[in-house]
Structure 1
């Protein structure tokens, strides 16, 4: 597998990992507000992003270059 100079961007939104930080007054409420804005109804976890990353790194996507792949649970629809 080689990237051969391809440029990739994974546009992830609504990540659940660290989404509600301790710096907000009510992290639980902040997380619920983020979830409410997500059309799919939950925040992304690493397991949700990994298949797209693996596909973009594989030879199956050898003709894909200069693209942004939105993995955002429908947020940008």
Structure 2
């Protein structure tokens, strides 16, 4: 595994989050449970990013792993 994340998909993941719940966004792109971590980053330079939901709502988590507003999508995938 390199220090460049794998592009999991070139579009965001729509996720219904629940207030008070903690989510761990995959930063390496290798997880089989995208957009969340399954431990695939083990023995790499990557670690998951913790996200704590403040409210029940729909969010769009980055799938390309290149967002500047991690873990949420900022539209960077449209330039890849």
TM-score range, shorter chain: under 0.3
Structure richer in strand, relative to its length: 2
Considering Cα pairs closer than 8 Å and 6+ residues apart, tell me whether 1 or 2 has the greater RCO.
1
Higher Cα Rg: structure 1 or 2? 1
TM-score, normalised relative to structure 2: 0.25
